Amino acid sequence: MSIRLLHIADLHLDRAFVGMGCQGDLAIRRRLGLREALRRAGQTALERGCSAVTIGGDLYEHDRAGAATAAFLVETFASWQPMKVLLAPGNHDPLLTGSIYSRTEWPSNVHLFSTSDLHPVAISDGLAVWGLAHLEPAWQGDPLAGDPVGADGGVHLALFHGAELGSRPEGKSIHGPFHAAAIHGRGFAGALCGHYHRRRVDESSGLLYPGSPEPLTFDECEPRGAVVVTVEGDGSLSHEPLQDNRWHARIAVADVATARGLADVVEAATAAAMVACAGLQPDRVILRLDLCGEIDHAVPADTFTVETAVRDTCAVAGLRVRDLTSPALSIVAVSSEATVRGAFARAAAQAAESADDEQRRILDDALRYGLQALSGNEVGLR
Ligand SMILES: [Mn+2]
C-alpha cells in the first residue's frame, strides 16, 4: 500500500515584502496570500488523501510573527484533523523560548520536532519521518549527523531545514550544512528539506526542496507550490511537484540605448513590461524593470515618469524601476568645448584622475546630472 505526504517549506508568513517594494495595502495582500497558500496546501493534502503535511522550516518569520499568526496556525492545522502536521523549525522560525512554537498549545494532530538531532515519528506501520529543529537562528550543525537508521527495515524519511552544499545558490546563507549523498548514506529514503527557495527534486539522492510556495523576491519565478511525495509499497519514492502559486514575480530588462528622449525610454520600458507580464493576472504581479544601455546624457531616464507610465499601461500590483543606464559620453569632445559644459567636464575629468572606485562612481553621477542640467533637462535621480 502506498502512503502520501504533502511537503512544503519556506512559506515565510508575516514577511514584510519591503525587498519587493511592497507597502501598505499591497504588502497586506501579499501576507494574506501566504496564509491562503498554507490553507490551499492543506486542502490539496486532504483531497489527495495524504497522511501528513510536512513543513520544513521558515513557516513564519520570528521577528514579525505574533499571537494572530499563532491563532491562524492553530485554527488551520486543527481543521485538517486527523491528518498529521509535522513541524521542523528553521533559521527564520527557530525553536526559541518565547517563540510561537514554544508558547502555543498545538492541536493533537500537530507534532513539533524540538531537538537539534533527528528524532522519529511513526506515520504508519513501516514509515517513519525523522525531524529536527533549529534551536537558534544561526545553527551550523550537520542535520544528517548520527548513526545510520533503518536497521529494523521500514522506510525512513528525514525532515529538516538545511543547506545542501552541492546545490547552494550563490550568496545563500549556510544554516545546517549537509551533502545530498549523506541522505542515503544515513539510511534515509529521502530528505524533505527547506531553506532554498527554488524547487529541487532529485530522485537519485532523495533530496527535495519544494521551494517557497509564493515568490518572496523578484527572481523567484515558477514553478511554485507544494510537492506530493508518495511512498510506494516497495519503499521507493515518487514526487509530484504542484504549481499553484497565485502571485508572480518577474524581472524585465529594457534596453534604452537608442532612446532620443524620455518618450522613447517610456515606450521601451512599457514594451518590456508588457512582454514580462503577458498571460498573467496583472493585479498579482510584482515586476522589477531594469533600464539599461548607454544613454545620451541629454536624455533623462526619469524613473518616476517611467514607473507611472508602466503602471498606467500594465496595471501591475507592484513595480520597481531601476535606472542602470550609463551615460554615453565623449568626454574628450565635451571637454574641448569653450563653454560652461566644457569647463564642467574638464573639472570632473581632472577629479577622476586621482579618484578611487567609489569616488569615481560619484563623479560619474555628478557628470551625468551636471550635463543633464546644463543641457536644460529636468534632472531625474537614479
Ligand atoms: Mn527561507
Task: Give the pLDDT of residue 118.
Answer: 97
Torsion sign (Cα): 302, 307, 312, 314: positive
> Ligand 1 centre and the CA of 34: distance in Å?
13
> Ligand 1 centre and the CA of 270: distance in Å?
32
Looking at the predicted structure, is the pLDDT value of residue 375 above 90? Answer: no
With cut-offs at 50, 70 and 90, classify the pLDDT of residue 51: very high
70-79, 259-268, 321-330, 368-377, range with the lowest pLDDT = 368-377
With cut-offs at 50, 70 and 90, classify the pLDDT of residue 256: very high
Average pLDDT over residues 179-205: 97
Contact between 217 and 197 (Cβ < 8 Å): yes
**Taking all residues of the chain, what is their mean pLDDT, rounded to a whole number?**
93
Strand partners, 285: 248
Using DSSP's 3-state secondary structure scheme, residue 213 falls into coil
Task: Give the pLDDT of residue 381.
Answer: 65
> Ligand 1 centre and the CA of 14: distance in Å?
12
> Ligand 1 centre and the CA of 192: distance in Å?
14
For residue range 338-348, what is the model confidence (pLDDT) as tens digits? 889 899 989 98
> Ligand 1 centre and the CA of 146: distance in Å?
25
> Ligand 1 centre and the CA of 327: distance in Å?
38
Predicted TM-score (pTM) of the model is: 0.87
> Ligand 1 centre and the CA of 58: distance in Å?
5
> Ligand 1 centre and the CA of 61: distance in Å?
9
Looking at the predicted structure, is the pLDDT value of residue 378 above 70? Answer: no
Looking at the predicted structure, is the pLDDT value of residue 1 above 80? Answer: no
For residue range 299-353, what is the model confidence (pLDDT) as tens digits? 888 899 999 999 999 999 999 999 998 877 667 778 888 889 899 989 988 898 8
Looking at the predicted structure, is the pLDDT value of residue 382 above 80? Answer: no
Task: Give the pLDDT of residue 14.
Answer: 97
Task: Give the pLDDT of residue 281.
Answer: 96
Strand partners, 85: 53, 110
For residue range 111-141, what is the model confidence (pLDDT) as tens digits? 999 999 999 999 998 999 999 999 999 999 9
**How many CA atoms within 13 Å lie on the side-chain side of 38?**
28
In terms of pLDDT, which residue wins out, 38 or 21? 38
Using DSSP's 3-state secondary structure scheme, residue 163 falls into strand
> Ligand 1 centre and the CA of 41: distance in Å?
17
Task: Give the pLDDT of residue 162.
Answer: 97
- Give the CA distances from residue 82 to residues 42, 51, 108, 133, 370, in Å, rounded to whole numbers and listed in that order: 12, 9, 9, 23, 68
> Ligand 1 centre and the CA of 112: distance in Å?
18
With cut-offs at 50, 70 and 90, classify the pLDDT of residue 365: confident
Task: Give the pLDDT of residue 100.
Answer: 96
For residue range 199-250, what is the model confidence (pLDDT) as tens digits? 999 999 999 999 999 999 999 999 999 999 999 988 899 999 999 999 999 9
> Ligand 1 centre and the CA of 147: distance in Å?
28
Using DSSP's 3-state secondary structure scheme, residue 110 falls into strand
Contact between 195 and 216 (Cβ < 8 Å): no
Name the burial class of residue 278, with classes exposed (0-12), middle (13-18) and buried (19+) by CB atoms within 10 angstroms of its CB: exposed
> Ligand 1 centre and the CA of 197: distance in Å?
6
> Ligand 1 centre and the CA of 8: distance in Å?
11
Task: Give the pLDDT of residue 15.
Answer: 97
Cite the beta strand spans of the chain per DSSP E: 3-8, 52-55, 84-87, 110-112, 119-124, 127-131, 155-161, 163-164, 177-178, 190-194, 200-202, 207-209, 227-231, 237-241, 248-255, 285-292, 294-296, 318-323, 326-328
In the chain, ranges of CATH 3.60.21.10 domains: 3-241
> Ligand 1 centre and the CA of 10: distance in Å?
4
Q: Which CATH code of 3.60.21.10, 2.10.70.10, 3.40.50.1370, 3.40.50.12780 fits the domain covering 3-241?
A: 3.60.21.10
For residue range 94-115, what is the model confidence (pLDDT) as tens digits? 999 999 999 999 999 999 999 9
Say how far apart CA 382 and CA 367 lie, in whole Å. 13
Using DSSP's 3-state secondary structure scheme, residue 53 falls into strand
Using DSSP's 3-state secondary structure scheme, residue 20 falls into helix
> Ligand 1 centre and the CA of 70: distance in Å?
19
Looking at the predicted structure, is the pLDDT value of residue 380 above 70? Answer: no
